Amino acid sequence: MCERVRRLIIRLRCSTGGAGNDTGRGGQNMADQYTAAFRLRTSRSDPPPGFVERQRLNSMLNHGARRAVTIVCAGPGYGKTLAVSAWVGRGDPPGPVAWLTADTRYDVQGLWADLLDALRISGVVPQSSVLATLTPGVQFGEPEFDRIVEGLMRLPTPIVVVLDDFHHITDPAALDSLNRVAEYRIPQLRLVLVSRTEPELRLSRLRLVDDVADIDGNDLTYTAAETREVCARSGVTVVDGAATELHSRTQGWPAGLRLAMISVDEAAGAVPALEHFSGNNRRVAEYLLEEILDRLSPSDRLFLLATSVVDQMTAELARALSGRVDSRQVLEDLVARNALTVRLSDRPNWFRYHPLLRELLLDRLSAENPDSVPELNRRAADWYVGRNEPIDALRHYAYARDWSTVARVLGQVALPLILTPQAAALVSALSTVYDDVARLPTAETLIVALVCDYQRHDFESMQRNADEATLLLNGTADPLTDVYRVIIAIAHTVHARASVPSQLVDTADALLELLDHVPRREVPASAAYAVVGINNRATGLVHEGHLDEAQVALSAVRTQGEHLGLGLTVLSAASYLSLVEFLLGDLDQAETESTSSLAAAERRGWAREPQLLAAYAAAALVYLDRGEREKAERYIDAGLVASTKGSDFGCRLLLHVAAVGVAVARQEASTARTALHRLDLSAASTSLPALLVAWSRVCRAEVAMAVGEPHIALDVIGDLGDPGDPVEDVGYVSSLMRITRAKALLELARPAAALEELRPAGRFAGFRALAAEGALLEAAAQGHLRRDNIAVERIGAAVALSAPIGLRRPFLRQDAQIPIQLNRYIRLSGDRSSFVTELAGTFGVVTELTTPPATVLQSLTERELAVLKYLPTMLKSSEIAADLFVSVNTVKTHQRSIYRKLGVSNRREAVESARYWEML
């Protein structure tokens, strides 16, 4: 292992300490950096003091809770959210409630990631449920969706899912998934959709069976009596008849009534000029807001406008935005006056403006002081950075178009989130960068864009943006240049892994060297980047055949990655460890590692993530070596599906290698040629490291031998150690090539040359499966050379190496010496193990043959010895007679005499006895 990597691993172990250790912003568990912001979306708004709760609405919601879907749909300001929140607060729902306020940029993966978290927070999901650990990844699709539906159907109690601000969900795939959930009419699930617009769901069939309840604007408006109660509870006195006229003018629109109460002239007890209460609600609200703002002190007015740039706030955030030290008192007063401000139910320190009020305030702020909007967003972002909530911080920096700070925060702390379930949320906060890249690209916008490109698996665009950013940075004295270069170095590493595996070790080394010289204070997330770099370097080492060094590094990555919460990196390391175990020949450990990694990913909904490709390849190759071709095919197919979006070229190539192996094992020449063609197309598209070069050549050689062209196989493999050949005559790679050359030489009836390829003894030490195959090939070669005692000893060695790991594939190759020598081994050793018996059954060898007689009953004549030499062949008696220039009867007479003298009854036993006595 290189000294730099060794130092980094030691530093990582010291900095992370244990799984529970918080190592600061760069070293803490990355997944935790998203929790606080998410929890705010699962918190409902508490009805404010003076809120008029309406029993008729509660009854309608209770009625809806007996239906599959309840739609609460009305424009802004109708009190939809508070009405549902009050119903939930009363405890009327038929079961636990999972509340989720929809994000404006949900895709299907982001929607279900948050919905599942909301379900878990509600307490309805038992630990045994598939929903307990399932976390949708980038490749979220049908298999993961089906598991979610299965989990919902198996919930032990009913659950009410409230999706507030449903109109924010516009992604077609996300809407389609919710539509299907609704159509399934899952008995345990009740959906309550709170939306400004009619949900774009296909609910006609549910309506036909009366399984949809609708609550609209007419239901949500206040009646005249309710309007009077609102006025009575508002804390101000209105003149006689004003409440009735107010209801007539506002038509009971809740937001209008609340704004009117806020704008009451308390001295006169009069509401604003009622002639303005006509036209659409938006204009009414704008008028009322103007009335309210005009009556406020300058500091109160500034407070409302400044704090409108955030979705929700604490007193501390409000102070950061407005400068008011009494921000908590201001917010408490707004809640107490029911001034369209609410407190979050399970987060009492957090406050939220009514969406309509916030929209109106933002419009006013943009009209009066547009230059302040970016600065206020920067203040909000700075506050979130201080709370270690980088995604919300990045969103506000992006609103401010402060791409330099976005790139800095990404590089210093946030980029590792791209390897966690929060990747989609991270990229959604950055996606507006593409507009600025198209208009006027800068180094900063290109760096932010390449992060989005990674999440979208557009690795070529990512590489172009990285290269352009490098050109723009050259020669600059920006103190943030090192941070930017770290992100660019990571991009180069990712591109190498996805498209140019021969460059992977070099690009990872460049990243690690950069991290070695960048102070930790400049890049607090350097520990996470080091784990990513070491993981990619180890991946490259595997593809170059340096397995021992790779194994040490991958083990360190798996441990430290778990401490840092880098879920996808941990999966990648575990997957590659299983591949290393296969290459080293420990098929049992490779099977355990690969299948456990895949099972863990399946539980989390990550089974189709590209970081698992090595596990799919390892499992396929293990089952191919064990002769379980159907299992191998299943893993090949699943791996190729997971690899459709790239990100690991080397393992996709190995899946093609396994596909060729399955076709060759089945002796399906046409299928083998097709699989090889796919492999060759991939291999020709880029430069390959040594291991992938070797596997590609081996596959071509295997197919050539399968179609009866061993001379071509020998040419394909070439002579090891030739100058310029990427395959050195050392280690696993050369061992694999020598095994294949020996096979070709045996096919060409050159057993002595095959033995030379397999020498010296111990060449394959350290690679158990190759050592077993080498011993088997030696047995076949020695058998062809009539050295049966040596052949039996070598096949015994092959069995001893193969049986504990279940290696069968080498024994199934088409060489007549393998069943012959296996038969001799069984007779001489008395081995009746299940492994040997299974192999014998494959060849039709009887494992209970009698032992040859102690002595030959009578010496064979010269003519009988001549006939004896033909018995191991497939030649008929007539063909032997023609070759010896004698009659058929003479040959048969000699055969009967041979059987009598050897004490056997048939040709096969005669050959076995003759070999035993070394007559052949």
41-94 pLDDT, tens digit each: 888 888 888 788 899 999 999 999 999 999 999 988 889 999 999 999 998 899
Q: Mean pLDDT throughout 541-545?
A: 95
pLDDT of 903: 82
Residue 276 has pLDDT above 60, yes or no: no
Residue pair 360/289 in contact (Cβ under 8 Å)? The answer is: yes
DSSP state of 94: S
Residue pair 452/394 in contact (Cβ under 8 Å)? The answer is: no
Which tens digit of pLDDT belongs to each residue from 709-749?
999 999 999 876 555 555 565 689 999 999 999 999 999 99
**Architecture of the structural domain at 709-843:** Alpha Horseshoe (1.25)
Distances (CA, A) of 170 to 88, 200, 227, 433: 26, 8, 35, 20
d(CA 611, CA 381) in angstroms, rounded, equals 32
- For the chain, where do the domains classified as CATH 1.25.40.10 start and end? 566-707
Q: What is the mean pLDDT of the chain?
A: 87
Residue 28 zone, left/alpha/beta (φ > 0; ψ -120 to 50; rest): beta
d(CA 622, CA 456) in angstroms, rounded, equals 32
pLDDT of 15: 54
Homologous superfamily (CATH) of 53-220 is P-loop containing nucleotide triphosphate hydrolases (3.40.50.300)
Which tens digit of pLDDT belongs to each residue from 326-364?
999 999 988 887 778 888 887 889 999 888 888 889 988
Residue 380 has pLDDT above 50, yes or no: yes
**Architecture of the structural domain at 862-916:** Orthogonal Bundle (1.10)
The reported pTM is: 0.80
pLDDT of 820: 87
pLDDT of 342: 87
Beta 69-73 vs 189-195: how paired, if at all? parallel
Residue 322 has pLDDT above 60, yes or no: yes
pLDDT of 37: 60
Which tens digit of pLDDT belongs to each residue from 188-234?
999 999 999 999 999 999 999 999 999 999 999 999 888 888 888 87
- For the chain, where do the domains classified as CATH 3.40.50.300 start and end? 53-220
- 566-707, CATH topology level: 1.25.40
Please report, for the chain, how many H helices and E strands are present, in that order.
Answer: 46, 7
Q: Mean pLDDT throughout 631-648?
A: 88
Pick from 914, 813, 826: nearest CA to 870: 914
pLDDT of 23: 37
pLDDT of 137: 79
pLDDT of 537: 96
pLDDT of 855: 61
Q: How many residues does the chain have?
A: 920
- 254-387, CATH topology level: Arc Repressor Mutant, subunit A (1.10.10)
User: For residue 418, what pLDDT band results from cuts at 50, 70 and 90?
Assistant: confident
- For the chain, where do the domains classified as CATH 1.10.10.10 start and end? 862-916
pLDDT of 19: 40
Buried b or exposed e, range 27-60, using 16+ CB within 10 angstroms: bbbbbebbebbbbbbbbbbbbbebbbebeebbeb
d(CA 479, CA 498) in angstroms, rounded, equals 31
Pick from 702, 783, 708, 712: nearest CA to 743: 702
Lowest mean pLDDT among 11-25, 157-171, 296-310: 11-25
Which tens digit of pLDDT belongs to each residue from 486-519?
999 999 999 999 999 999 999 999 999 999 888 8
Distances (CA, A) of 451 to 267, 334, 391, 461, 564: 58, 41, 13, 10, 20
Residue 30 has pLDDT above 60, yes or no: no
User: For residue 854, what pLDDT band results from cuts at 50, 70 and 90?
Assistant: very low
- For residue 853, cis peptide bond before it (omega within 30 degrees of 0): no
Pick from 135, 623, 24, 131: nearest CA to 419: 135
pLDDT of 767: 94
User: For residue 36, what pLDDT band results from cuts at 50, 70 and 90?
Assistant: low
d(CA 797, CA 272) in angstroms, rounded, equals 99
Lowest mean pLDDT among 461-465, 722-726, 821-825, 867-871: 722-726
Residue 856 has pLDDT above 80, yes or no: no
**pLDDT over 70 percentage in the chain:** 89
Residue 852 has pLDDT above 60, yes or no: no
**Residues paired with 161 in a beta bridge:** 98, 191
Residue 280 has pLDDT above 60, yes or no: no
CA-only gyration radius of the chain, Å? 37
**pLDDT over 90 percentage in the chain:** 56
Residue pair 465/490 in contact (Cβ under 8 Å)? The answer is: no
Q: Mean pLDDT throughout 23-33?
A: 46
User: For residue 769, what pLDDT band results from cuts at 50, 70 and 90?
Assistant: very high
Pick from 131, 184, 173, 177: nearest CA to 155: 131
d(CA 657, CA 660) in angstroms, rounded, equals 5
Residue 301 has pLDDT above 60, yes or no: yes
**Residue 810 three-state SS:** helix
